[in-house]
Structure formats: C-alpha cells, structure tokens
Structure 1
C-alpha cells in the first residue's frame, strides 16, 4: 500500500511540474509578448527598393542621426561604413535568381539529413518523452510505426521564403603566401516560416507542442581563406572559414496562440548561449579558430620528402644529337640541367668535370626519375627539340596472389635495389625513346642538310637511323630522410577534424652547415630597361667552404626566354637539394639580342639588366620569403621571387 502511495505521489509531482512549466512558459510568453518590444523588421528599410520608397525618409545632411537609424548600423552592408569594402551587386543578383532553386534543394537535403539523425534517436528513445518531431509536413519518425502526426501537420509550412541571402560587400587582402583572403558579411533578412511540431508522450497522455520560427534576421561577418593555391587543377587545395565575431541572430519563436517564447526575460541570451555551445564552439568557427575543408587530397600540399636521390651522369650512347644536354626531374616542372657536350653522339660526362645532381623523392609509387636529352641550338634559336626521353622508376608492382573473395589478382609494390639499399651508389642504364612528335627533328635534319657552310660538316657527323633514341648510363644513390618529432607538435593521427597540414618552418638561428631543400620560384620581372627586350634569368647558388666530396660549390639554373616584354613573367621553379644554410643566391637578368648576326666562331655575351644577391640563411630563418626586390647595377627594374626552405634530416 505504501509503495503504491509513493508511486502515485511521484507521478503526480512529475506531471504537476511538467504542467506548471508548460503553463508558466505559455502565460509568461503571452504577457511578455504583449509588453515587450518585438524585433524590428529592417528588410523594408535595408533593401535596395527603399531608395524608391517615399515612406522611407533618409536623414537630412548635417542633422543628427536618430536612435532608430543608429540601430540599423549593425545590420547594414559593410560597404556603407568601410571605404575599403566593395559592392558585389552582380553576385547578389545571381543569388536572387538562383534562390528559388536553392531553397527547394536545401530544404530537401536538410530534411533528409535531419531524419537520418533524429529517427534513430527517436527509435532508441534517447530524447525523453519525445515521441515524434515534425518539420513542416514531414515526420522524423518511421511513418509505418507512428502516424498520428499526419492530421496535425498537414497544413504546416517549412519554407525559407523569397528573400535570398545577400553579401554585404567584400574585402580582399594581399599576403605573401599562396592564398586568397576575403572578408564578407553574409546577411539574411528573411520571410522564412519554419513550422516545427513536437509530440510528447506521458504514459497514456499525448501532447502536441507547435513551434513557429519566423522573421529570421542574421548577419555573419566571415573570413574566407582559399589556400593553398597550387599548379594542379582545380588549383585550390582547400577552404578555411572563420567567423570574425559572434553573429547577430534575431527571430520570432512562437508557440500556442502566437506567443513569442523569446520574449521571456533571458530567452534571447539563452538562444545565443545555445548557438555558442552547440554550433560555434564544437565546429571551431569563431576567430581565431577556423573550420577547414579540403578540395584536393592533403590540401594539395606535397608529401613530406622521403629522401634525396643523388645522380651522377656517366655517359651517353647512340644519342640522336651531337650537341646535347640532359634535363633531370622527379617532381613537377622542377628540373635540373647538365652542361652541354659538343661534338659526340656518345658523350662521356666524366671527362672534364663530373656532374652530380640531387633531386627530391616524395612518393616511391607516384614519382620516378625523368630524363630528357635536349639538342642545344644556336644562341639566336629559342626552340630546343627533345631528342629522347627515359624514366627510372623507384620500384614496380609484382603479383602477390589472388584475392579469395573477389578472385582479383593482388599486387605488391617492390622498391628498386638502389632504394632498398640506401647510401650506396648503383650503376644503372636507362634506355631512351623518341619523343611523341618526331616531326620537328626530321624538319631540323632537312634544314641542316641545306645549310650551306655546315652542310658537309653535318653530313660527316650524321648518325645512321635507328628505332630507339640511345641510352644514358647513370650512378644513383638514395639518401633517406628522417622526420623528427617535436614536443610541441600534435600527432596528426590524434586530430579529430580535417585540418590544413602544417610543418615546422621557422628556425631562429640556423647553423651554417644545416642541410636543406631550397625551392626558388622566379615569378616575374617588373619594369626592366630597354625597348621590349628578350630576357631570361640565371639563378646561381654559391656554397661557401664546401668540400669537394660534399657537392658542387656552384649550381646554375636558367629560366626560359621571354620575348618582347619589359614585364616578363617566367613562373619557373628550381630545387636546390642538400645545400648549406650559409649559401648565397645570385639572380642575374640577361637580355638576349636576337638582331645580331649569327657567328659560329665568336660567342656573344648577353647584356646584363641587373642582378640581386640574397643570403639563403634569411630564408632558413623564416621558412618562406615572398617579395619584390630592386635589381642592382641598373637604372630600373625589380624581380618578384618566392623562396621556400625545408630542413633535411639525414637518416644515417
């Protein structure tokens, strides 16, 4: 008997408490909605059509601004009070045209996502006393299990209205990084009507609580960073979004008899607290936090180098030209070039000065050593045909049995011998093939046969036709890198969200012998002297106090020639691998005079349009430098460069 009495009293207290809360919220909302001032609808005043509305009277010039007008400032577009913000009428016009289609697609997608989240929670009864939730006319519960909601929600709406989102101006920033930084306020003064029905169940008692969200007004100041910008389609690695301050959010939340729940004291503060707790903080949206999403794999950032490949050119055999040099590359367009060997179809590169090249290896499966044999032309010729191409892979796929489930042949990637046995030189032979378009070579050979003075010389040195393009003999050695782990760096595996990969770049006091990879991006030259000159840039790296066995003291790379431009754009990248931090870079801008007559006996010296000297240690300290420098020893001219440094840790 006592147990029944206690149970009866407990149920009575619970029911009374719930009923009291509902009545308190209902009566309180009704009273405060009558007394409290409702949120102003600023759409009519802030819309462009207000300029043609006679009822909207702007303040006269020189008169004080009214308090009502001053309240409009937080909701106005940024270009109305910031002179460096630009209008975006074209983008807003496009949004207006697309808005009817965006609303339909967005609501459909939102309802589907909402049902996928809410339906399992309702089935497992994870939300106390809630039997169903209806968004508009769509129930979030399984319709075959529960259908009483159909009669109550058949006339409800769930629409975003006809007023589209607007961008209240846009502001861009120039940064030294490869990125685009934009700031724009996203504004939405809507006539949306979102009917939400909550079905509660207390034993045998069911209660329907209608909610209506309307008059939604939002202004969100956002910073959008598109980075990094890469040279592979779609050219954008990822997008980072951050909210510069807490968004302005206002709305009506009505329930029984049109009572506004947000009219209760502290209700709007509770709304902002809920948004902060469940939206801004979990997704890390408020500045300085940010939310990043990748567009390309790993944000388009190259992987951490696995090591360096040292290549020594030994000799060539049966090449298609007798004045040739070799291009070597392992990633992108970052290539290195050998010296030209004259007068031999089978050049010996070890005769005079052995040429050693060091190239970066990032991925054994996706990368390979690419070789090109190029014909060196006369100084006044700008086209240098490729006579042969070859590759040296870092491994190959070999069969590893058959999958018992799918019956598909499985393969395993086996590293090449010179990769498996690092720090040891291995001699290899690389066969060369003719380029894809050999027609250029045939035209060049016919031209040489009718060249007058050089006709007999060319015929005496012409090699017989053959199917391949010869071979190159190399000595290769792989130097593996180790990746140190610092105490203040977070383990990437422990990161719960998708984040832009970061690397330790800044070294406050780099030692002189610190080894690293220097990537030089020669972007362009500006305002060079001369009348539309033809120019190119020499990039010379000088390493001080370098022993002969440690590498080359001088490394020279050249950009392509750009004709007829006082502001030539080169866009060429070079890698200097395993160099010391105390090295020095020299950039020399040369002018190629194409109007001088050809001479086979005297080599002309190209005119210099200026030079620049930069210490590599400055790049090692900062990790990256991007700027425009004045050229020295010239009347005018500047050069724009981007320099990146990455320290190499050799795995002994």
Structure 2
C-alpha cells in the first residue's frame, strides 16, 4: 500500500509539473497588464524652500542658508578692519573703510586636484582654485579733508589650499571636521579704479648705497697689511648680500662703489655692513661690522655716515673697546611711486579713470625696479626626468627658482627683483625651464623649453601677466608676471 501511494505521487508530480508550467506560460503571454501610473516628479526650483532641507536634513548651513554670502562678507570685514586700521596708523591715514563689499555672481573654478592616500581615516586634497570674479569692492581712504574712493576691478585669485577631511564617518557629509591650510602664498592680481581724489605714493623704498672709503683698519696679514672688502645686506631678508671689490695690501682702502637695495620695511630694517680681510687660503677674517637703521635716512636726501667698526653688533654682548677702524658710507633713498596717465595727472574723470603708469618721456627716463614673478608651468615634457626649475637670465645675472620633483605642472610663485638705473626699453629677459636629475649621474640636466620676453611693453604699460608657449616644447607653457615700478 505504501509502495502504491508513493508510485502514484511520483506519477502525479511528473504529470502536474509540465501541465502547471504550460498553463502559467499561457497566462503570462496572453494576460493584459494593469495600467501603472508614473509618479509625479517636480523640479526643485518649483518646490517650496523647505523641500531641500527636508530631503537632506544634515546638509551644511552654507547650502541651506540663501543669505550665507552676506555672512562671508561680514567675516571678511571683521578680519580686514584691524589690518586696515594698522595700515592707517602706519601711513598716517585718517581711515581706510569699506564702502561696499559684494563678492559678485561668478563662482571660483577648480582647475585640478591632487589627492593623497594616508593610513589614517582621512582624505587629503590639494585643489588648484582660480577665481576670476566680478565682485564690487570699494574702499574709502580719508586723508584730512581729502577723501579718495578706490574700486577693485579685474580681480583674479589663484591659490592651492590643502584640505584635510577627518575623521571620515558613515553619515552625510561623510566627514566630521575640515582643516584648510595654505602651503604657498596665494597669487592675487587686480586693477584699481579711482572714483575721486588724488593718488598717493605706494609704500616701498629704493635704496642707493655708496661705500666710499675706510681708514685705520685692523692689521690682519703677517706683514701688517690687509686685503679688505665690504659685504652689505639688509636685515630681515634671505637674499644674498652684495660685495665690493677687494683692495690689496692696504689699511686705508677707497672704493667709491654704488649698490642698490629694495627695502620692504623702512621703519624696521637696517643695513648691515661687514668688513672682511680676503685670504687666498682658508676663510676670510672679519675685521669689524656695523648697523645703520634705515629710518635715520630722510627721503630724497643723501646722508653720510662715519661708522666706527665693532667686533659684533649684538647689544646683549659686551663689545671690546679695541679700535677696529672707520668706514664711510653715503645713503640715499626714494619712495616708489605709481604715476597716473596724463589725463589723471590733471583731474580725475569721476567714474571712468583707471590707474596706469605714465608712458611719458619723464617716466621712461627714470630708474626703477623690475619685478619678475615666475608663477607656474604646464604640460612640461622631459625625456628622461621631470624635476623642473626655472632659470631667469637678465643683463648677465642669473636667478633660479626652487626645484620641484616629479611633476609636469610645477607651481613656483617665486619673485625676483632687479634694481635698474634706467628703464629696460630695449632689453629682453630670458626664462629657461630646466629639469635636473637627483643624484650624481651623467646628463643630469635637461632643457624643457624657454621664452624670451621683450620688456618694452612692460615699461610702457607697467605690468604684464600672461602665459607663454615654451620654445622647443610641444605643449609646455610658462605663466609669468613682470612689473616695472619707477622711482
């Protein structure tokens, strides 16, 4: 009986299964589906202002608050007002105030981004951000009874911050804190539109120094003589010092040599003078030194200094009383000025006048400062390595940027200055981009391209800021800003 029931069950399953599949197939093919209505979808712009925060309850405040731009402007004012007040006191200006501060409608753009991997629960990014915005920023300078209104125009900001998101969390926005730091100085370029008033001279200093003579120097050589020379440098600067020629076998040398320095902080910097005895073998011996605070020099006047040399200038250490000789110097300085065009030199057009440096014959005959800012390069192509640096060649001088390793898009932002007796109207400046192999190997240097820039336009317009295609490079470009400031 049990066997019979099992047999009938197997037969029933074998017959029922194909019959069931056949019936299901016919129902699937010939049955009509029910009409399904599409859900109602509306764009966010047609929704109420509360819809987006309801969809994303943890969205940041700068997205939810439509008035957040004003909060940013308020923060800029709060941070800038103490700085403006400090400048007002320093340059004897009654007040510097914001008349208007609006960031405009154009957002910043991200031109590239670099992401670093770490073993921590964090994300490190370095975006390259450029903002060529249309802000409306107006400053008012109050000078006694005179009021000058200045408007910033053609503002461009170029910077590469480092952003660290840490720690990473599983909920929106996926991180708990954000740390932002600037690894290099941002580049800011802008024009200035004058809405009324007179143009003031720009803070800055062009320093002329003449080393005249020294007398009764210490005897350093075995025969009772010395081979003296003078080294000059400014305190607070990392640039190398300047040297006079060496006067052989004398204790009363006469140099009458001129030197030029660019002074950034006239009230706080000093000129350091060191007199050395040159030795053919071994290190040079220092015979004495002195310091001259630059605030002792009156603008546009030459002042002579007769300075007794000291063993050292550290006032916390007692100097010995031994007489080391006297050095005679002549110092002159003149503030840099940013002159206006001939139209501005008489009266300002109240709304349409923009500051440019004058291109008059007077301007083209004055001494000044040539500033070269090597910003960055793009798409460099090295055959053997990509460790680029830039070499600036001008009138026999060579200056170079730092070397950046393993990159085809270096960002230098390094500035170099040349003090000149006359405008470089007929000169060219050559900038080469080179790559240097690290370590000691053959063929360690490789040229990645170069540019030659005529300086006539720089002198006549005051400044150029543009990208140049590198000669002998397929796609390489070099971004350079050059400025001429007259005395």
Please report the TM-score for the alignment, with normalisation by the length of structure 2: 0.44
Please report the TM-score for the alignment, with normalisation by the length of structure 1: 0.35
User: Which structure shows the bigger proportion of residues in helix conformation?
Assistant: 1
